[in-house]
């Protein structure tokens, strides 16, 4: 059976890459004693499929991963040594999996929910249509940030030269900016931007939004203090829902700023 | 005090930032205190190369288990981060607590190879510590180093306060105690000299500043202690019983990709195969096996704890391990490990082993197969004491191709003592014959020949041999290239002979070479073991500036009564034994493994009151000496055995006799 896992990535481990996270999960699943289906062929790999890659250095409250388990709710686990040994005695329920996974993941990663995936359901990459981001900036004052956000929302186009497969193209980012507003600053007084950015047809990254909004800053990298993905969304007939909802952990977008 | 808040913004600007975050499973952020001697264990190469180092991980655990010590780790930052650190005036830092290097009591370097010497200087400088020992003051950490390269520490003698010879498990505790007293006494003015003199009395510890070096013209005349309480000869440390040291117990699991991303379990130390070019085999004697039961426990517990799907059984010649068959069979057959698990053997001598194991591991997947015949002719292999016959090799290759491999890799050295062009061309002939054997089984059969220039090493019978010049090594490589360029299925790769020249300089250099290393470092020559950074001109210029000659240090043959720069350091081997073995080599006379034949009195066992610890009184069946792999080439993984989970219907009744 296939399950979908929601997990978080916070703190120092945000510097691991998407590939690193895949390997971390492969090991965590083995440590958790949860048997995973393997690909066939000369060099079998566990069947994991990840959603949209999170850029290295970003944090997230809402990462997702689909895993093919061998047995329908199949893990058989010895009651006495839940995370170390399998045995014939007992099956584990889905509700136990988040805790079990979190215990086997490096600090900074935590599994927050696991649900079964209906057969035939689309992949994460196909179904997710937008993401919410919390972007903390450095070296810019609040009024400048607010001005840039207003200007971006008011603009009819937001051009940026992007490189794709070695070729430069001039893209208009504006259609991908679904919402943009300024949130209360951090304790250190750093300005915070909240943005909803489309992932279809091509994912718009926070770094690209910043490059377009602050075109006059020499190194936009230097102003990006911290970026956190707070949600991934599936657009469904005008309403949006998360692949797996969990109790809110971050500030919601203030109303009235939908673009 | 953590530097993390200052470091983190820099990580957005560098390649592979996960190298600098720590956070590995098994890592420790220890609590420092005045009553704890603090060690920063530094691997002077990148994180990817350094993290898997087992020696460093063992000491990390041993020290952190002690109530009077703490240990953290650091690795050489890549050039991009180094630039950012210097620009922002930030120092070398530990990856565990992100603590400044200079806050530790000891900076302890692991020196596995010679080309990292300039990186050591760079790390010391980046720590904010004077690079020369004589300029350091009581507030600076003690700079120490261990590892195979320190069996000739002289080139770094002016830069490292103390060296440790041999295995570190026990001696780090003794150093901890001495340094702890120094720390509690407040590291007062003038106390540095005092603590170093006390450390010089710890067995296995070499404090170069306690010795006077005299030259006679160009030649070294003597290295003698300056004080009566300082030993004239420093003898390496050796752990008698490996079963008392089941480390690492919590092997570090990196969050990002490293060179050996798998569980490692050391199955024995030492090797008595007696390959004359192999420094590791000479300096790690005698053979000490870990009990097979302990190996099995370490493998199983390690796999369950880490989630790895692969374990490497490490040693200088793993197929010689008495319990190898059962360990492999039980590991690949363990269904509780939650998925397919493979075993890799870093040094391949699989004659007896594989025949036995192939029967047990009925369905085995194998990938990557490397043999190390080392030389192209039987004559040459007798000289280097690598006693495998052509028939052994063809038999092994035949088995491999018949078992479904389509490509094998062969390791060779060129520039060996007494080597003629016939010997060199024998390499091409062996490769062609191996392809011919393979073509009987598959039309895709190919052989990759990896050719390295031989660098004579201290404490080996070849320590007197004059290394081939860069031009001569190039000529020999071209001989092999010309002889294989049109050969179907033979690919040739070779190491840069210019890098071998510098390795030779640092391997057998004396104290005067230190100033050359310093000049190369000051000229920006770091990461010299990385081909994109290696620059021979920096070394040639530095030699000229110091008035030294590469010919004299590297290319000339040394004579019997010459004082060698490492003569006051002992790996337990008698100089007479090494000289006799050198003469035997020149006479093309091989010697057998002393584990199973009478003792040649090399000096190690008698000197330490030890014996070879082996579980089996007889050698593995198969007879030939085999192809234990040269560690200096970096632990390639020649064979893997895995329980096959797919296509279980494939019969596998053919035993693999790969040597």
| pLDDT at residue B359 greater than cutoff 70 | no
Task: Please provide the average confidence, as pLDDT, over all residues in chain A.
Answer: 86
CATH number, domain of B229, equals: 3.40.50.2300
Helix and strand numbers (H, E) in chain A are: 6, 13
Distance from the B75 Cα atom to the nearest Cα atom in chain A, whole angstroms: 17
**What's phi and psi for B263, nearest 5 deg?**
-70, 145
Domain count, chain A: 2
- The partner residue sitting opposite B306, judged by closest CB among A16, A17, A27, is A27
B439 pLDDT more than 50: yes
| Alpha carbon of B336: minimum distance to chain A alpha carbons (Å) | 6
Is A85 in contact with B336 (Cβ distance < 8 A)?
A: yes
Which DSSP letter does residue B242 get? G
A15 and B11 in contact by Cβ < 8 A?
Answer: yes
Residues B433-456, mean pLDDT to the nearest whole number = 94
Q: Could you give the number of structural domains in chain B?
A: 2
Q: List CB contacts (< 8 A) between A23 and chain B.
A: 257, 261
Distance between CA B314 and CA B265 in Å, rounded? 6
Give the nearest partner residue to B307 out of A13, A20, A28, using CB atoms. Answer: A28
What are the residues of chain A with a beta carbon less than 8 Å away from any beta carbon of chain B? 12-13, 15-17, 19-20, 23-24, 26-31, 33-36, 38, 40-44, 46, 56-57, 84-86, 104, 106-108, 138, 221-222, 224-225
Q: In the numeric block, which tokens belong to residue B36? A: 């704890």
Token pair of B631, please? 């560690």
Give the pair of three-digit tokens for residue A87: 């045995």
pLDDT, tens digit, 9 for 90 and up, residues B31-60: 999 999 999 999 999 999 999 999 999 999
Of A17, A30, A108, the CB nearest to B338: A30
For residue B97, the chain A residue with the least C-alpha distance is A12
Residues in contact with A231: Cβ distance below 8 Å, sequence separation at least 6, in sequence order? A61, A62, A131, A132, A242, A250
Are B498 and B582 found together in one domain? yes
What pLDDT shows up at residue B271?
Answer: 87
pLDDT digits (tens, 9 = 90+) for B66-102: 999 999 999 999 999 999 999 999 999 999 999 999 9
Rounded Cα gap, residues B100 and B91, in angstroms: 6
The C-alpha atoms of residue B458 and residue B236 are separated, in whole angstroms, by: 14
pLDDT score of A257 more than 90? no
How far apart are the C-alpha atoms of A176 and B628, rounded to whole Å? 60
Contact A203, A212 (CB under 8 A): no
Q: Which of B318-322, B340-344, B364-368, B561-565 has the lowest mean pLDDT?
A: B364-368
Question: DSSP class of residue B57?
Answer: H
Tell me if A20 and B257 make a contact (CB, 8 A cut-off): yes
Interface test with A, best of B2, B6, B9, B12 (most A CBs within 10 A): B12
Co-location of A138 and A118 in the same domain = no
Range of the domain at B73: 4-235
Side-chain-facing half-sphere of B205: CA atoms under 13 Å: 27
pLDDT band at B398 (very low <50, low <70, confident <90, very high): confident
**ipTM value > 0.85:** yes
Chain B residues within an 8 Å CB radius of A92: none
Is the pLDDT at B264 greater than 80? The verdict is: yes
Residues B291 and B222 in one domain: no
**Do residue A120 and residue A162 come from a single domain?**
no
Range A86-92 average pLDDT = 53
How far B8 CA sits from the closest chain A CA (Å)?
9
**Chain A CA closest to residue B339:** A35
For residues B599 and B454, state if they share a domain.
Answer: yes
Of residues B325, B237, B293, B323, the one with CA closest to residue B614: B323
CA closest to B25 among chain A residues:
A106
Say what the pLDDT of residue B440 is. 93
Structure tokens at B480: 């092999």
Contact indicator for A48, A26 with CB cutoff of 8 Å: yes
pLDDT band, very low/low/confident/very high, at A248 (cuts 50, 70, 90): low
Q: How far is B646 from chain A (nearest CA, A)?
A: 6
B624 falls in which pLDDT band (50, 70, 90)? very low
CB contact under 8 A, B307 and A27: yes
Distance CA(B167)–CA(B305), nearest Å, equals 26
A108 and A152 housed in the same domain: no
Within 8 A of B11 by CB-CB distance, chain A residues are 15, 57
pLDDT (0 to 100) of residue A91: 66
Same domain, B216 and B272: no
Band of pLDDT at residue B616, cut at 50, 70 and 90 = low
Same domain? For A142 and A210 the reply is yes
Check residue B139 and report its DSSP letter. T
Size of interface A-B (CB pairs under 8 A): 90
Question: Which residues of chain A make contact with B336, given a CB cutoff of 8 A?
Answer: 85-86
Residue A98 sits in a domain whose CATH number is 3.30.70.580
What digits encode the pLDDT tens for the residues B584-604?
A: 999 998 888 887 777 888 888
Instruction: Provide the pLDDT for residue A259.
Output: 43
Beta pairing partners, A133 = A195, A229
Q: Kindly list the residues from chain A whose CB atom is less than 8 angstroms away from the CB atom of residue B297.
A: none
Q: Which of A15, A34, A44 has its CB closest to that of B340? A: A44
Nearest chain B Cα distance for residue A114, angstroms: 20
Question: Which residue segment(s) compose the domain that A213 sits in?
Answer: 128-241
B413 & B482 share domain:
yes
- Do A110 and A203 fall within a single domain? no
Tokens of B577: 């034994």
- Contacts with A24 from chain B: Cβ below 8 Å: 255
Query: Has residue A206 got a pLDDT over 50?
Result: yes
Nearest to A27 among B21, B22, B308 (CB): B308
Q: What span, in angstroms and rounded, lies between the C-alpha atoms of B559 and B581?
A: 15
Confidence class for position A58, pLDDT limits 50, 70, 90 = very high
Angle between helix B351-360 and B390-402 (nearest 10): 20
Asked if the Cβ–Cβ distance from A86 to B336 is below 8 Å, we say yes
Identify the burial level of B233 via C-beta atoms within 10 angstroms of its C-beta, where 0-12 means exposed, 13-18 middle and 19 or more buried. Answer: exposed
CA dist list (Å): B530 to B19, B78, B191, B374, B600:
18, 11, 39, 23, 40
A38 contacts in chain B (CB < 8 Å): 339-340, 645-646
HEC string of B190-215?
Answer: CHHHHHHHHHHCCCCEECHHHEEEEE
* Centroid of chain to Cα B218: 31
In a domain, B483, yes or no: yes
**Same-domain check for residues A231 and A148:** yes
The pLDDT of residue B651 is: 31
Which of A20, A30, A68 should be substituted to probe chain B, the one whose Cβ sees the most B Cβ atoms within 10 Å?
A30
The count of C-alpha atoms lying within 13 angstroms of the C-alpha of A165, restricted to the half-sphere facing its C-beta, is 0
CATH number at residue B408: 3.80.30.20
The answer to whether residues A41 and A77 belong to one domain is yes
The reply to whether residue B17 touches residue A46, judged by beta carbons under 8 angstroms, is no
Q: For residue B12, which residues of chain A lie inside 8 Å, CB to CB? A: 57, 221, 224
Q: Are residues A110 and A169 in the same domain?
A: no
For residue B244, how many C-alpha atoms fall within 13 Å in the half-sphere facing its CB? 7
Query: Residue B400: which pLDDT band, with cuts at 50, 70 and 90?
Result: confident
Place of tokens 């000496």: B625
Residue pair A227/A54 in contact (Cβ under 8 Å)? The answer is no
CA B164 – CA B145 distance, rounded (Å): 6
Same domain, residue pair A201 and A93: no
pLDDT class for A90, splitting at 50, 70, 90?
low
Q: What is the C-alpha separation between B112 and A135, in angstroms, rounded?
A: 44
Contact list in A for residue B16 (CB cut-off 8 A) is: 17
Both structure tokens of B208 = 């170069």
């Amino acid at each position: 059976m296939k399950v979908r896992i929601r997990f978080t990535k916070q703190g120092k481990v945000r510097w691991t890459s998407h590939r690193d996270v895949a390997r971390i999960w492969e090991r965590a699943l083995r440590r958790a004693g949860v048997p995973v289906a393997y690909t066939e062929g000369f060099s079998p790999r566990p069947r994991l499929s990840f959603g949209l890659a999170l850029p290295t250095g970003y944090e997230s409250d809402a990462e997702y991963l689909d895993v093919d388990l061998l047995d329908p709710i199949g893990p058989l686990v010895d009651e006495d040594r839940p995370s170390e040994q399998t045995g014939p005695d007992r099956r584990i329920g889905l509700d136990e999996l988040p805790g079990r996974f979190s215990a086997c993941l490096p600090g900074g990663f935590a599994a927050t929910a696991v649900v079964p995936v209906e057969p035939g359901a689309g992949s994460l990459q196909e179904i997710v249509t937008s993401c919410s981001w919390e972007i903390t900036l450095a070296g810019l004052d609040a009024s400048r940030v607010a001005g840039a956000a207003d200007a971006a929302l008011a603009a009819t186009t937001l051009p940026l030269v992007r490189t794709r497969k070695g070729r430069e193209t001039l893209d208009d980012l504006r259609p991908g900016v679904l919402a943009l507003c300024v949130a209360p600053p951090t304790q250190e007084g750093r300005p915070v931007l909240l943005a909803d950015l489309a992932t279809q047809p091509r994912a718009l990254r926070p770094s690209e939004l910043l490059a377009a909004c602050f075109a006059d800053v020499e190194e936009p990298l230097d102003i990006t203090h911290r970026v956190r993905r707070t949600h991934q969304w599936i657009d469904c007939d005008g309403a949006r829902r998360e692949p797996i909802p969990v109790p809110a952990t971050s500030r919601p977008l203030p109303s009235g700023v939908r673009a | 005090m953590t530097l993390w808040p200052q470091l983190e913004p820099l990580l957005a600007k560098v390649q592979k930032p996960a190298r600098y975050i720590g956070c590995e499973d098994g890592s420790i952020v220890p609590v420092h205190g005045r009553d704890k001697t603090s060690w920063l264990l530094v691997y002077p190469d990148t994180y990817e190369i350094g993290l898997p180092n087992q020696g460093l991980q063992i000491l990390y655990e041993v020290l952190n288990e002690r109530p009077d010590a703490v240990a953290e780790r650091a690795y050489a930052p890549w050039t991009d981060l180094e630039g950012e650190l210097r620009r922002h005036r930030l120092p070398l830092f530990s990856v565990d607590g992100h603590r400044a290097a200079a806050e530790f009591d000891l900076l302890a370097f692991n020196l596995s190879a010679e080309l990292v010497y300039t990186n050591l200087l760079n790390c010391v400088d980046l720590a904010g510590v004077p690079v020369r020992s004589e300029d350091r003051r009581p507030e600076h950490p003690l700079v120490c180093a261990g590892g195979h390269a320190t069996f000739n520490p002289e080139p770094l003698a002016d830069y490292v306060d103390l060296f440790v010879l041999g295995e570190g498990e026990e001696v780090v505790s003794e150093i901890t105690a001495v340094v702890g007293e120094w720390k509690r006494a407040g590291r007062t003015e003038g106390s540095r000299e005092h603590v170093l003199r006390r450390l010089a009395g710890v067995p296995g510890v070499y404090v170069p500043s306690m010795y006077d070096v005299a030259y006679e013209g160009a030649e070294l005349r003597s290295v003698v202690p300056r004080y009566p309480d300082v030993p004239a000869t420093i003898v390496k440390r050796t752990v008698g019983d490996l079963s008392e040291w089941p480390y690492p117990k919590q092997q570090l699991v990196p969050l990002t990709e490293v060179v050996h991303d798998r569980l490692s379990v050391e199955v024995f130390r030492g090797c008595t195969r007696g390959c004359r070019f192999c420094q590791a085999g000479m300096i790690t004697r005698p053979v000490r096996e870990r009990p097979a039961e302990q190996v099995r426990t370490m493998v199983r517990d390690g796999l369950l704890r880490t989630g790895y799907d692969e374990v490497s059984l490490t040693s200088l010649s793993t197929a010689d391990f008495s319990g190898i068959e059962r360990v492999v069979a039980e590991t690949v057959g363990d269904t509780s490990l939650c998925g397919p698990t493979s075993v890799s053997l870093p040094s391949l001598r699989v004659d007896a082993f594989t025949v036995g194991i192939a029967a047990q591991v009925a369905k085995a997947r194998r990938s990557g197969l490397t043999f190390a015949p080392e030389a192209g002719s039987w004559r040459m292999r007798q000289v280097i004491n690598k006693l495998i016959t052509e028939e052994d090799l063809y038999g092994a290759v035949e088995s491999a191709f018949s078992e479904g491999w389509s490509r094998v890799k062969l390791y060779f050295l060129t520039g060996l003592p007494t080597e003629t062009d016939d010997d060199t061309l024998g390499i091409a002939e062996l490769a062609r014959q191996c392809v011919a054997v393979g073509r009987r089984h598959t039309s895709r059969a190919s052989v990759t020949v990896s050719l390295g220039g031989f660098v004579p090493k201290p404490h080996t019978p070849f320590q007197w041999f004059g290394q081939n010049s860069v031009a001569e090594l190039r000529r020999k490589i071209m001989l092999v290239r010309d002889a294989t360029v049109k050969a179907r299925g033979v690919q040739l790769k070779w190491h840069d002979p210019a890098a071998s020249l510098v390795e030779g300089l640092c391997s057998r250099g004396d104290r005067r070479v230190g100033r050359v290393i310093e000049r190369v470092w000051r000229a920006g020559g770091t990461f010299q073991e990385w081909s994109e950074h290696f620059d021979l001109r920096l070394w040639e210029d530095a030699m000229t500036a110091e008035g030294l000659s590469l010919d004299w240090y590297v290319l000339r043959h040394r004579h019997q009564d010459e004082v060698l720069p490492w003569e006051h350091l002992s790996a337990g081997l008698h100089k007479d034994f090494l000289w006799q073995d050198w003469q035997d080599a020149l006479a093309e006379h091989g010697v057998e493994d002393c584990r199973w034949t009478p003792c040649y009195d090399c000096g190690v066992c008698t000197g330490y009151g030890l014996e070879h610890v082996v579980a089996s009184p007889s050698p593995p069946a198969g007879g030939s000496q085999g192809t234990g792999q040269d560690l200096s080439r970096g632990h390639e993984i020649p064979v893997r055995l895995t329980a096959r989970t797919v296509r279980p219907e494939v019969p596998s009744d053919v035993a693999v006799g790969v040597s």
